């Protein structure tokens, strides 16, 4: 459902859609497009005013209707709302019809009704229908039914460029990650240190105000949810480093006798205060200069110039939130480029949020456009410095995967995956049965994958491998551990070669199981382990517990070349990479089955910036050395690293968290300070990639994104912050 929608079908559906269906579509469409900005509080049914929704924004009403006379409908809507005592400040009118000269119509109705009127017609819908998986779903769930009679006509005449192609964010992020194999370790450490200092900013040893590590963590993550991914694996080590070495011209004090607590000494707080003063002064200077620009027109009253300055300030931050990469590139280049296209929308939104009287909207818009043009093209040194600081903050957040468009790209991509699970992942998941939920890395990965819309496939091949592993572990325990169990120390159990045996002794020591039989019976009846019934029990457990889709060997065999499967199995046996003929055959069949499903579903013949959909997700590598020629022949790898899902989807912030982080960070002094942590070379490298994107056509961008995405999925040399540490021995 996340494939782009054919715009011709959108036009047909909008022409035929009925009132209630269009109303449902509009709610889903705006919810996906604007996120938490669009929060309908319920339909206003008074006086027959169906199709009107009050938004979370005070005084903003949405009208969804297919009537032909938009002027009469908007006038009637306004009249009914006022009759029922509504405080109407903004009316956003959406219609499936085309409206000519929208800007003139909006101006006419705004002036007549003394409320801000915005019209969204079929052109607007078509231009945004492929922006996100949510807008595409809104079409399929509400409008697609009106084109079912055209089923005999091909639904796609080529893939429509999506928002991910028309904006550089996802393209540049993929470039950044593919070329940055060693990760952002230094940057992550620097940001973590900055967050720690912020978290400790209110401590004071003279006032007996201290914080524990958990309190620091809670304060940071409650204020900056996006930071959890960054600080979780680094907080303890960075605190230890900061208390023993003065790396940043600051110091963190540690008090073990006070309950392992931390605080900032006077010297550190003094340095931070001085930095805050400098950044606050820059912000004030920026506002003062805008205020001065606004007052150059003698007809502008002082209170109006103050309001225009605040509006300009908010508009600049809004542009960073919505098109920060393009904006940063625009500000950093000397070329005569155009500002991001979102600027005018940000002006309109700022006027709505500030509740500017409708009669003054056009006047304010004209003044704001003049001010923004001035500071964009003829910025003073202080204005350039302020813009540069915000640009660097944006790029820092961008490189740490907190940019909403980047998060959305991976979210959309994940919904299309069909992933065969390797036995190593599933055995790891079995071993986590008695761990605390937050420590269940493999199980949490599987949960997030399913919740993200992925199809997780369990092949008959992998069931055989998991069953063989469980049975082999059962024999090893009986032969080497059963009689000696009362004498097994923690050190001995930790050195066992079988992960399930190590897991058992951990659970037993924690008092969570009484014996080996009880442990294994979480997955299979103990008396059935050596019987075919035991294999079937394990299969049904895996399918049910992890919500997997089962794929028979016969299905894979029907799409795989039998001769080549057997040849690959024989090569693995000859090199002793597989000791059992059945397991060797299963592995070979899994490899060719991935390629077979891709061919069957025509994945390689479709143009999409998300790349291929069908993969074998595993860290098993022995088969790789035998398939070099096969990969070269096919042109694509077949194994996806589990760390790809773990780091880019499972551990990434949500789109809502990413949007909220931008809203809270950019207007703040802390937001400016974050930008200081970004190195010059990292900033200029990303700006260079934006320039590359601008020089390419949409078709080329989509092709490159698919290639970059697939390379990232398979790169076994890339270093990640979060790893599964798979061990299926």
Contact 618, 654 (CB under 8 A): no
Mean pLDDT of 33-43: 64
Residue 271: how many CB atoms within 10 A of its CB?
Answer: 16
Q: Which two tokens stand for residue 666?
A: 């950019």
User: What pLDDT score was predicted for residue 36?
Assistant: 55
- Residue 56: pLDDT band by 50, 70, 90 thresholds? low
How far is residue 598's CA from residue 615's CA, in Å, rounded to a whole number? Answer: 9
Q: Which of 17-21, 33-37, 204-208, 405-409 has the lowest mean pLDDT?
A: 33-37
pLDDT surpasses 90 at 96 = yes
- Residue 440: pLDDT band by 50, 70, 90 thresholds? very high
pLDDT surpasses 50 at 484 = yes
pLDDT surpasses 90 at 672 = no
User: What pLDDT score was predicted for residue 30?
Assistant: 87
Distance of CA 71 to the CA centre of its chain: 40
Q: Which of 3-7, 580-584, 614-618 has the highest mean pLDDT?
A: 614-618
Q: Which helix (H) or strand (E) holds 310?
A: helix 302-332
Give the ranges where 52-121 is alpha helix by DSSP (H). 70-83, 102-113
- Residue 48: pLDDT band by 50, 70, 90 thresholds? very low
Q: What predicted TM-score, i.e. pTM, was given to this entire model?
A: 0.82
Strand ranges of the sheet holding 455-459, from the earlier edge strand across to the other edge? 549-551, 455-459, 418-421, 614-617, 639-640
Contact 461, 589 (CB under 8 A): yes
Contact 454, 417 (CB under 8 A): yes
Contact 152, 26 (CB under 8 A): no
Mean pLDDT of 389-414: 87
pLDDT surpasses 80 at 158 = no
Q: Are strands 211-212 and 418-421 parallel, antiparallel or unpaired?
A: unpaired
Mean pLDDT of 208-226: 91
Of residues 123 and 154, more confidently modeled: 123
Quick one: DSSP state of residue 339? P
196-213 pLDDT tens trace: 988 998 999 989 999 999
Q: Which two tokens stand for residue 1?
A: 């459902």
How far is residue 441's CA from residue 726's CA, in Å, rounded to a whole number? Answer: 10
Residues 605, 609, 613, 615, CA torsion sign: positive
Q: Tell me the three state secondary structure of residue 599.
A: helix
Q: Which two tokens stand for residue 190?
A: 């620097």
693 Cβ partners below 8 Å, 6+ apart? Answer: 168, 171, 172, 701
User: What pLDDT score was predicted for residue 721?
Assistant: 80
Q: Which helix (H) or strand (E) holds 535?
A: helix 532-546
- Residue 246: pLDDT band by 50, 70, 90 thresholds? low
Q: Which helix (H) or strand (E) holds 421?
A: strand 418-421
pLDDT surpasses 50 at 386 = yes
Q: Which two tokens stand for residue 11?
A: 């036009």
Provide, for the chain, the percentages of residues in helix, strand and coil under a 3-state DSSP scheme, each rounded to the nearest 5: 65, 5, 30
- Residue 108: pLDDT band by 50, 70, 90 thresholds? very high
Distance of CA 255 to the CA centre of its chain: 39
User: What pLDDT score was predicted for residue 154?
Assistant: 47
pLDDT surpasses 80 at 621 = yes
Instruction: Give the gyration radius of the chain's Cα atoms.
Output: 30
User: What pLDDT score was predicted for residue 155?
Assistant: 47
Contact 86, 78 (CB under 8 A): no
Q: Which two tokens stand for residue 207?
A: 């006032």
pLDDT surpasses 80 at 184 = no
User: What pLDDT score was predicted for residue 529?
Assistant: 96
Dihedral angle over CA of 441, 446, 452, 457, nearest 10: 150
Burial of 407 (0-12, 13-18, 19+ CB in 10 A): buried
Q: What percent of the chain has pLDDT over 70?
A: 93
Contact 219, 211 (CB under 8 A): yes
- Residue 49: pLDDT band by 50, 70, 90 thresholds? very low
Q: Which two tokens stand for residue 710?
A: 């697939």
User: What pLDDT score was predicted for residue 267?
Assistant: 85
pLDDT surpasses 80 at 374 = yes
Cα–Cα distances in angstroms (integers) from residue 217 to residues 190, 195, 221, in the given order: 16, 9, 6
Residues pairing with 616 in the sheet: 420, 639
Kindly list the structural domains of the chain, giving each domain's residue range(s) and its CATH number in brackets, ordered by start. 7-160 (3.40.1350), 409-650 (no CATH)
Quick one: DSSP state of residue 47? G
User: What pLDDT score was predicted for residue 68?
Assistant: 87
pLDDT surpasses 90 at 712 = yes
Average confidence score pLDDT of the chain: 88
Buried b or exposed e, range 476-499, using 16+ CB within 10 angstroms: bbeeebeeeeeebeeeebeebebb
- Residue 302: pLDDT band by 50, 70, 90 thresholds? confident
């Amino acid at each position: 459902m996340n494939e782009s929608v054919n715009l011709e079908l959108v036009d047909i559906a909008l022409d035929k859609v009925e009132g209630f269906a269009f109303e449902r579509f509009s709610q889903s469409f705006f919810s996906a497009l604007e996120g938490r900005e669009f929060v309908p509080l319920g339909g206003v049914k008074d006086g027959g005013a169906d199709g009107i929704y009050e938004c979370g924004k005070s005084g903003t009403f949405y009208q969804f209707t297919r009537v032909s006379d938009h002027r009469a409908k908007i006038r009637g809507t306004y009249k009914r709302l006022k009759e029922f005592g509504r405080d109407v400040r903004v009316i956003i009118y959406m219609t499936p019809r085309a409206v000519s000269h929208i800007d003139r119509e909006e101006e006419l109705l705004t002036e007549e009704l003394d409320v801000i009127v915005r019209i969204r017609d079929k052109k607007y819908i078509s231009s945004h229908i492929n922006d996100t998986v949510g807008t595409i779903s809104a079409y399929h769930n509400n409008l697609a039914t009106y084109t079912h009679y055209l089923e005999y006509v091909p639904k796609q005449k080529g893939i429509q460029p999506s928002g991910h192609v028309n904006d550089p964010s996802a393209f540049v992020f993929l470039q950044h990650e593919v070329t940055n194999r060693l990760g952002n370790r230094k940057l992550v450490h620097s940001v973590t240190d900055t967050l720690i200092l912020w978290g400790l900013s209110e401590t004071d040893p003279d006032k007996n105000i201290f914080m524990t590590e958990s309190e620091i963590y809670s304060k940071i993550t409650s204020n900056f949810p996006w930071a959890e991914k960054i600080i979780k694996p680094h907080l303890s080590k960075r605190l230890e480093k900061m208390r023993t070495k003065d790396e940043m011209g600051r110091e963190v004090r540690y008090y073990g006798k006070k309950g392992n607590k931390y605080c900032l000494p006077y010297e550190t707080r003094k340095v931070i205060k001085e930095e805050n003063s400098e950044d606050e002064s820059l912000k004030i200077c920026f506002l003062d200069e805008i205020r001065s620009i606004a007052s150059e027109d003698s007809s502008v009253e002082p209170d109006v110039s103050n309001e225009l300055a605040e509006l300009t300030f908010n508009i600049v931050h809004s542009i960073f939130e919505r098109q920060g990469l393009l904006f940063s590139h625009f500000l950093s280049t000397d070329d005569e480029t155009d500002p991001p296209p979102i600027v005018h929308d940000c002006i309109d939104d700022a006027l709505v949020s500030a509740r500017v009287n409708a009669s003054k909207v056009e006047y304010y818009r004209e003044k704001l456009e003049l001010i923004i043009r001035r500071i964009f093209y003829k910025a003073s040194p202080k204005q350039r410095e302020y813009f540069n600081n915000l640009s660097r903050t944006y790029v820092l957040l961008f490189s740490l995967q907190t940019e909403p468009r980047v998060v959305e790209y991976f979210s959309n991509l994940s919904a299309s995956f069909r992933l065969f699970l390797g036995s190593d992942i599933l055995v790891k998941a079995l071993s986590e049965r008695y761990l605390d939920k937050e420590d269940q890395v493999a199980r949490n990965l599987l949960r997030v994958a399913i919740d993200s819309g992925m199809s997780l496939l369990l092949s008959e091949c992998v069931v055989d491998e998991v069953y063989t592993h469980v049975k082999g572990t059962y024999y090893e325990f009986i032969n080497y551990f059963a009689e000696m169990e009362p004498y097994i120390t923690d050190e001995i159990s930790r050195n066992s070669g079988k992960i399930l045996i190590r897991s058992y002794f951990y659970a037993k020591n924690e008092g969570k199981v009484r014996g080996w039989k009880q442990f294994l019976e979480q997955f299979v009846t103990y008396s059935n382990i050596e019987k075919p019934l035991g294999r079937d029990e394990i299969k049904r457990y895996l399918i049910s517990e992890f919500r997997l889709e089962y794929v028979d060997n016969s299905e894979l065999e029907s799409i795989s070349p039998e001769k080549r499967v057997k040849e690959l199995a024989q090569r693995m046996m000859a090199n002793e990479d597989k000791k059992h003929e059945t397991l060797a055959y299963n592995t070979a069949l899994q490899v060719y089955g991935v390629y077979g499903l891709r061919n069957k579903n025509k994945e390689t013949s479709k143009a999409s910036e998300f790349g291929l959909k069908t993969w074998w997700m595993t860290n098993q590598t022995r088969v790789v050395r035998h398939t070099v020629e096969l990969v070269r022949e096919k042109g694509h790898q077949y194994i996806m690293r589990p760390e790809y899902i773990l780091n880019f989807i499972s551990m990434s912030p949500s789109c809502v968290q990413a949007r909220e982080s931008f809203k809270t960070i950019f207007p703040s002094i802390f937001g400016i300070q974050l930008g200081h942590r970004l190195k010059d070379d990292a900033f200029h490298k990303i700006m260079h990639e934006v320039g590359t994107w601008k020089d390419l056509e949409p078709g080329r961008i989509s092709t490159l994104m698919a290639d970059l995405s697939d390379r990232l999925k398979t790169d076994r040399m890339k270093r990640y912050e979060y790893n599964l540490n798979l061990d299926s021995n």
